[in-house]
């Protein structure tokens, strides 16, 4: 960031963790390997030394994963949900570190870093696009404005193929988690991510 020949800018995109968890659950098998890698990154970043007692990971634990089964392995779907939940907790912890760092950052860093919430981009695509391009020192081509509006105001919202990039009504994606997550899942996400959610006004 201080390299004079680069003029590097950083845009950090955030999204409501409840919506993130809902999206990741829909693609649980596709994201299983990635979730395990995220969990391993937490262990690599922990300070070395004598092992400390850690409470068992219980974030978003699917019902019946540990109970009753006489030693039978949990179904693959439940194992995937367990890894997804643990990965979300690690992601929220990383978000919190970034947010606190940005708040304490010197002026030279604040000038080169900005945050964007997915929800703001979906609600105000043109205004947020202009803000980002101004931050980057780039012009605002009309064709790019039209593209962003088209991609966020499509005819419908389909969650069947989460990795398909196509025009859709992204406003429906903002609140889809309210209909798809159980109350227990919502409470667990909010407990695990409460500090980051508070700083991001979620």
Q: Read off the pTM.
A: 0.75
Least confident of 73-82, 108-117, 143-152: 73-82
Residue scoring higher pLDDT (156 or 22):
22
pLDDT value of residue 13: 96
- Residue written as tokens 């960031």? 1
Three-state DSSP state, 16: coil
What mean pLDDT is reported for the chain?
79
- 180 contacts: CB under 8 Å, gap ≥ 6: 22, 25
- Domains in the chain: boundaries: 11-41+77-200
Three-state DSSP state, 130: helix
Can you tell me the mean pLDDT for 142-155?
A: 86
Residue 153 pLDDT level (bands cut at 50, 70, 90):
confident
User: Is the pLDDT at 8 greater than 80, yes or no?
Assistant: yes
Residue scoring higher pLDDT (86 or 133):
133
Can you tell me the mean pLDDT for 100-120?
A: 93
User: Is the pLDDT at 119 greater than 90, yes or no?
Assistant: yes
DSSP of 41-110, one letter per residue?
Answer: HHHHHSPPSSPPP-PPP-TTPPTTSSSSSTTPPPPHHHHHHHHHHHHHHHHHHHHHHHHHHHHH--HHHH
User: Is the pLDDT at 6 greater than 80, yes or no?
Assistant: yes
Residue 11 pLDDT level (bands cut at 50, 70, 90):
very high
Residue 197 pLDDT level (bands cut at 50, 70, 90):
very high
Under a CB-based contact definition with an 8 Å cutoff, are residues 93 and 199 in contact?
no
- CA distances in angstroms from 55 to 59, 73, 113, listed in the order given: 11, 21, 35
Residue 146 sits at φ, ψ, to 5 deg, of: -65, -40
Three-state DSSP state, 116: strand
pLDDT digits (tens, 9 = 90+) for 40-69: 776 555 554 444 444 434 454 444 433 444
Least confident of 52-66, 78-92, 145-159: 52-66
Which percentage of the chain shows pLDDT scores above 70? 72
Residue scoring higher pLDDT (19 or 155):
19
Q: How many Cα neighbours within 13 Å face the side chain of 143?
A: 0
pLDDT value of residue 31: 67
User: Is the pLDDT at 162 greater than 90, yes or no?
Assistant: no
């Amino acid at each position: 960031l201080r390299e004079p020949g680069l003029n590097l800018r950083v845009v950090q995109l955030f999204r409501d963790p409840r919506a993130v968890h809902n999206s990741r659950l829909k693609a649980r098998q596709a994201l299983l390997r990635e979730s395990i890698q995220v969990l391993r990154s937490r262990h690599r970043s922990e300070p070395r030394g004598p092992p400390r007692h850690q409470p068992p990971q219980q974030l978003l634990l699917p019902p019946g994963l540990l109970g009753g089964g006489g030693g039978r392995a949990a179904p693959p779907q439940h194992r995937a949900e367990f890894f997804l939940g643990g990965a979300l907790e690690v992601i929220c912890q990383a978000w919190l570190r970034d947010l606190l760092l940005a708040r304490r950052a010197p002026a030279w860093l604040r000038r080169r870093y900005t945050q964007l919430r997915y929800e703001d981009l979906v609600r105000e695509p043109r205004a947020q696009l202009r803000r980002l391009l101004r931050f980057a020192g780039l012009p605002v081509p009309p064709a790019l404005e039209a593209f962003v509006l088209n991609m966020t105001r499509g005819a419908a919202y389909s969650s069947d193929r989460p990795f398909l990039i196509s025009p859709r009504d992204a406003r429906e994606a903002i609140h889809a988690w309210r209909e798809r997550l159980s109350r227990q899942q919502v409470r667990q996400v909010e407990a695990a991510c409460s500090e980051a959610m508070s700083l991001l006004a979620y």
